[in-house]
Chain A
Amino acid sequence: MTAIPMPLRLLALGALLGFTLSHVGFTSWDEVHAMFVFADLRMFLTFALGVGGLAGAFAWIRRRSAPNWPPRPIHRGTLAGSVLFGVGWALAGGCPGVVLTQLGEGKLYALFALAGIALGNGLYGALLEARVRTDRQPAAG
């Protein structure tokens, strides 16, 4: 296990996630829209079941060990940032991992979403992060 280099492990994990996102339908704008307008509850159920199962597994892991999982407290950017993300997801049809999987499927419009994500991420990091983040010290330059 330790013999497998981390980049290879992450390549495999990314591929499993991408394969799953494709088959769930998260890479389809129309499927995402059908989820958001409650026309098809399948992906909501998919997500809920995934979270539920994961919660059980994580609880089991916590009972047996003390994993170094980062806390995720509410901070000043949590609500506003997530609201913006949701609107962007509904427009672009992809969350950050999904746009890469869309590229793999040949959906080249995802290049625009990818550029937008990099731009938005960089804008926030450059302009606002040091002022809004309260849960850690700003990254040193």
Chain B
Amino acid sequence: MDHWPFYLGGAALGGVALLHWLVAGRLMSVSSRFSALVDRLRGVRPESSETSLEHLAFFGGLILGGLVASLLAGTFAPTLFDLGPGFRRLFGDDPVLTGAIVTFGGVLVGFGTRMATGCTSGHGLCGVARFERGSLLATCAFFGSGVLASFLFEAVLS
């Protein structure tokens, strides 16, 4: 898929976050939806007043958006462990190792975003755009650690 130039992508990303506030009456925050659904599964009453159906609808939309984008671009092709040539260059193409890396990364994402009470949408977009201190720190920290980790992968693995 051809990627949008930064001005188009930036306008779309900011526009969606703004639209979320205007249309849903609350700020976009994907990881809090995960927390609410996971709490519901654990039998704990979630903090959020939204229903599970609302969380699932948003998540379904995220899936649908990816499906429509890739179908329209003609790039839809289901694959299991093809993360791309850059990933293979660093980590190889062993399916078990790939699955383990992605799963472990996911655990860190889930654990970390819940610990920090926000991710790229709630902290990175909607928090930083309001100059909230916690979001400014969180966003510097997750972009910073992502950069450091990625440079480390390059130094050790390539």
Residues on the A chain within 8 Å of B30, using CB: 95-97
For the complex, what is the distance from the CA of A106 to the CA of B53, rounded to whole Å?
23
Q: Across the interface, which residues of A come within 8 angstroms of B6, CB to CB?
A: 42-43, 45-46, 49
**Distance of A69 from chain B, by nearest CB (Å):** 6
Closest to A41 in B: B6
Contact of B107 among A55, A72, A79, A117 (CB under 8 A): A117
> Least Cβ distance of B123 to chain A in Å?
7
Residues of B close to A14: CB separation below 8 A: 57-65
Contact B124–A125 (Cβ < 8 Å): no
1/0 contact string of B17-45 vs chain A (CB within 8 Å): 11111011001101100110111011111
C-alpha spacing A87/B134, complex, angstroms: 19
Given contacts A11-B58, A18-B62, is CB(A77)–CB(B117) below 8 Å?
Answer: yes
- Cβ contact of B38, chosen from A54, A91, A122, cutoff 8 A: A122
Q: Cβ of B141: which chain A residues have Cβ within 8 Å of it?
A: 78-79, 82-83, 86
By size class, the interface of chain B is 35 or more
Q: Are B86 and A30 in contact (CB under 8 A)?
A: yes
Known contacts A13-B20, A19-B65, A69-B130, A109 near B83 by CB under 8 Å? yes
Closest to B56 in A: A7
Give Cα A135–Cα B116 distance, bound, in whole angstroms. 11
The distance in angstroms between the C-alpha atoms of A102 and B84, with both chains bound, is: 13
B149 touches A100 (CB 8 A): no
Q: Is the CB of B102 within 8 A of A109?
A: yes
On whether the beta carbons of B47 and A136 are closer than 8 Å, the reply is: yes
Q: How far does the alpha carbon of A133 sit from the alpha carbon of B117 in the complex, in Å?
A: 9
- Contact: A126 with B42, CB < 8 Å? yes
Contact residues in B for A3 (Cβ distance below 8 Å) = none
A23 near B1 with CB under 8 A, answer: yes
Structural contact, B45 and A141, CB atoms closer than 8 A: yes
A-B contact pairs, 16 of them (CB 8 A): A9-B24, A14-B61, A14-B65, A28-B84, A46-B10, A50-B9, A51-B128, A71-B132, A77-B115, A78-B138, A97-B30, A109-B102, A112-B106, A113-B102, A118-B37, A120-B111
Add 19 more A-B contacts to A88-B104, A88-B107 (CB < 8 A). Answer: A15-B61, A15-B64, A15-B68, A16-B19, A17-B61, A19-B65, A22-B73, A33-B87, A53-B10, A55-B131, A79-B141, A88-B105, A90-B146, A90-B149, A91-B108, A92-B106, A103-B63, A118-B38, A120-B106
